[in-house]
């Protein structure tokens, strides 16, 4: 039901935008569209006008072009109708590029420069959607990863992570960075510079739990998949920062699990990381013991956190 309503809103807004371009004579006859009519219209577009996925993506890009989304555009400047049409177009593109063939086609039809331009606007609701499109576009897709990287996508995402004042935008940008760097050494190497790591440092220190969690996930994934990067990560003080977070992590929820998992990744097969974890002044051993006492009796719900803390405590207790 929610998906039908979302599609209905997308169709309605895109139709309103199209009619708006025709002038007052056409717009005065605009009437609300029912859910059944929206479904029929979608099927008609697909089966009778040849509106396959590539055609739909081209139509969405045309909407985005017409919004004149320059780097200085704000949501107020775009206006309500154009903003909603652009939001719906981005939502639809994100849905389409989930298929690998569509993702490649999206690059071929010139969609990438438009998405990168929108990512640099000041319209937050468009920024985070553009970042989401990128994250879906490059996920497990080496061709699209290389295209986004060659087009400066990583630098743009890092800049957004540093400069945006919106936590959702920064969270989606980190997600896109994670998808872009996974399994793509060139992008990861470029990310592991001061500005790239600085995005994770800032995110981990933020008050947003979602942003914090996304940064910790990214850190953990890098440490697990690229052991050679652990020393670099440790040199930026992540062991100390994560230990402090674990010490004050709320007993409710699973943030403690993610923190303990990231710490374990940094300490495993990394002398520098393990040495930092063992440092008496850090008191990580005492923090882990307290965390395990806190989780006593909750073995099933917090099984992974207990396993991470137990193994990390074992490592910290070795001579």
Mean pLDDT (whole number) for 113-127: 95
CA distances for 204 relative to 20, 40, 174, angstroms: 44, 47, 11
What integer pLDDT is reported at residue 15 of this predicted model? 53
**Minimum mean pLDDT among 28-42, 126-140, 258-272: which range?**
28-42
Mean pLDDT (whole number) for 5-20: 53
Mean pLDDT (whole number) for 275-293: 96
Nearest to 40 by CA among 18, 3, 80, 7: 7
> Class of 2-230 per CATH?
mainly alpha
Domain boundaries, the chain: 2-230
Q: What count of residues does the chain have?
A: 319
pLDDT digits (tens, 9 = 90+) for 247-267: 999 887 889 999 999 999 999
Is residue 121 within 8 A of residue 156, CB to CB? The reply is no
Predicted model pTM: 0.81
Nearest to 155 by CA among 191, 188, 124: 191
Residue 2 has pLDDT above 60, yes or no: no
Query: How far apart are alpha carbons 295 and 249 in whole angstroms?
Result: 12
Which residues does 318 contact at the CB level (< 8 Å), separation at least 6? none
Mean pLDDT (whole number) for 164-191: 96
Instruction: Please provide the average confidence, as pLDDT, over all residues in the chain.
Output: 87
State the pLDDT confidence band at 123, using cuts at 50, 70 and 90.
Answer: very high
Which residues does 136 contact at the CB level (< 8 Å), separation at least 6? 94, 97, 98, 103, 179
Residue 302 has pLDDT above 80, yes or no: yes
Residue 3 has pLDDT above 90, yes or no: no
**Minimum mean pLDDT among 32-41, 42-51, 176-185: which range?**
42-51
CA distances for 151 relative to 23, 161, 241, angstroms: 37, 18, 33
DSSP secondary-structure letter at 155?
H
For every residue of 82-137, DSSP letters joined together read HHHHHHHHHHHHHHHTTSHHHHHHHHHTTHHHHHHHHHTSS-HHHHHHHHHHHHHH
Q: What percentage of the chain exceeds 70 in pLDDT?
A: 81
State the pLDDT confidence band at 1, using cuts at 50, 70 and 90.
Answer: very low
- Rg, Å, the chain Cα set: 23
State the pLDDT confidence band at 126, using cuts at 50, 70 and 90.
Answer: very high
Mean pLDDT (whole number) for 232-243: 96
End-to-end CA distance of the chain: 59
CA distances for 29 relative to 14, 16, 39, 218, angstroms: 16, 11, 21, 51
What integer pLDDT is reported at residue 133 of this predicted model? 98
Q: Which residue has the higher pLDDT, 45 or 163?
A: 163
What integer pLDDT is reported at residue 125 of this predicted model? 95
Residue 6 has pLDDT above 90, yes or no: no
What integer pLDDT is reported at residue 43 of this predicted model? 61
Q: What percentage of the chain exceeds 90 in pLDDT?
A: 72
């Amino acid at each position: 039901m929610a998906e039908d309503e979302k599609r209905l809103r997308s169709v309605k807004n895109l139709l309103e935008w199209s009619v708006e371009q025709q002038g007052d004579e056409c717009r005065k006859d605009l009437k609300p569209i029912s859910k059944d009519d929206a479904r029929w219209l979608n099927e008609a577009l697909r089966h009778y006008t040849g509106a396959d996925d590539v055609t739909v993506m081209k139509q969405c890009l045309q909407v985005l072009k017409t919004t004149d989304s320059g780097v200085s555009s704000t949501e107020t400047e775009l206006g309500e109708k154009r903003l909603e049409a652009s939001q719906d177009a981005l939502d639809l593109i994100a849905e389409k590029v989930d298929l690998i063939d569509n993702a490649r086609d999206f690059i071929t039809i010139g969609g990438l420069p438009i998405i990168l331009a929108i990512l640099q606007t000041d319209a937050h609701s468009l920024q985070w959607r553009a970042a989401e499109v990128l994250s879906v576009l490059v996920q497990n897709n080496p061709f699209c990863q290389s295209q986004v990287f060659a087009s400066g996508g990583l630098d743009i995402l890092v800049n957004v992570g540093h400069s945006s004042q919106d936590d959702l935008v920064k969270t989606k940008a980190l997600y896109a960075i994670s998808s872009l760097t996974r399994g793509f050494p060139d992008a990861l190497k470029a990310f592991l510079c001061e500005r790239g790591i600085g995005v994770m440092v800032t995110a981990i220190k933020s008050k947003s739990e979602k942003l914090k969690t996304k940064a910790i996930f990214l850190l953990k994934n890098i440490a697990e998949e690229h052991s050679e990067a652990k020393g670099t990560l440790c040199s930026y003080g992540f062991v100390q920062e994560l230990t402090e977070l674990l010490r004050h992590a709320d007993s409710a929820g699973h943030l403690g699990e993610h923190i303990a998992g990231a710490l374990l990744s940094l300490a495993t097969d990394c002398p520098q990381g393990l040495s930092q974890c063992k440092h008496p002044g850090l008191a990580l051993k005492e923090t882990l013991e307290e965390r395990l006492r806190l989780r006593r009796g909750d073995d099933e719900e917090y099984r992974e956190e207990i396993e991470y803390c137990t193994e990390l405590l074992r490592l910290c207790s070795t001579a």
